[in-house]
Copies of this chain bind each other. A is one copy, B any other.
Amino acid sequence: MPRSDTSLFPPFGVTVDLVVLTVREHALSALTIRRGEPPFQGAWALPGGFVREGEGLEAAAARELAEETGLDRLPVHLEQLATFGDPGRDPRMRVVSVAYLVLAPDLPAPRPGGDAAGARWSSVGELLGDGGRLAFDHARILEDGVERARSKIEYSSLAAAFCPEEFTVGELRRVYESVWGVALDPRNFHRKVTGTPDFLVPTGGTTTRQGGRPAQLFRRGSAEKLNPPMLRPEA
């Protein structure tokens, strides 16, 4: 079975699929599009599409993200998630899909592009519950993306990717609470994040957009890892 004889091996289609997560109204939410064509016509699916000739995988993911959401030049986080290639996962042909995870701040309503008949944000609870039937194996992909996000904010500063450029400690705490689905003690959380060097940089400004006493505004600091990590309550 010489590896160099490439003609003996079957051609695959290669796609990228995007798990785009944000926090909206206290709920971790994912971007979905309504499919305009078969298969799964009319069903909701993760945005994605075929990788083009001569195009890198991450470049394809960035292109699809821009096409589906108009998210260009926005400071979002994009990383490879995993690859799904079970035979039969796409009824048309053998397709291997490289999934990417995108973490974004709360965005304006998405504008459908490409072949999508619609686009919207839905809470991952609904998408993964009984009601939401995602096309292909996209429920599985979404699950993996959600779990990656949940575990990654423990030991990295990635939670700030869900926040606008300037944010308060309380807003950051509500991100953690929404992603993990738990309540955190505001005082201990404050001590933790302000005590980690280079995690948050005060901008000097304050805001009262959450009501109550004015809160200091911060920007993301240079620290990328959280050591020791933020502990997720076991509950």
Question: Chain A, 62-91, contact with B by CB distance < 8 Å: what is the 0/1 string?
Answer: 000000000000000000101111110000
Q: Are B83 and A3 in contact (CB under 8 A)?
A: no
In the assembled complex, the CB of A101 is this many whole angstroms from the nearest CB of chain B, namely 12
**In this assembly, does A181 line the interface, its C-beta being within 8 Å of a C-beta of chain B?**
no
- B contact residues around A165 at 8 Å (CB): none
Q: Within A1-19, which residues are at the interface with B (CB < 8 Å)?
A: 1-4, 6, 8-15
Q: Within A140-177, which residues are at the interface with B (CB < 8 Å)?
A: none
**In this assembly, does A129 line the interface, its C-beta being within 8 Å of a C-beta of chain B?**
no
Q: Are B49 and A1 in contact (CB under 8 A)?
A: yes
A39-B4 in contact given A51-B85, A83-B57 (Cβ < 8 Å): yes
**In this assembly, does A98 line the interface, its C-beta being within 8 Å of a C-beta of chain B?**
yes
**In this assembly, does A190 line the interface, its C-beta being within 8 Å of a C-beta of chain B?**
no
In the assembled complex, the CB of A187 is this many whole angstroms from the nearest CB of chain B, namely 22
- Bound CA span A88–B194, Å: 46
- B contact residues around A84 at 8 Å (CB): 57
Q: Are A115 and B3 in contact (CB under 8 A)?
A: yes
A9-B50 in contact given A80-B83, A115-B2 (Cβ < 8 Å): yes
In the assembled complex, the CB of A169 is this many whole angstroms from the nearest CB of chain B, namely 25
- Bound CA span A10–B35, Å: 22
A85-B14 in contact given A57-B96, A94-B53 (Cβ < 8 Å): yes
**In this assembly, does A52 line the interface, its C-beta being within 8 Å of a C-beta of chain B?**
yes
- B contact residues around A50 at 8 Å (CB): 3, 6, 8-9
Q: Are B87 and A56 in contact (CB under 8 A)?
A: yes
Q: Are B82 and A37 in contact (CB under 8 A)?
A: no
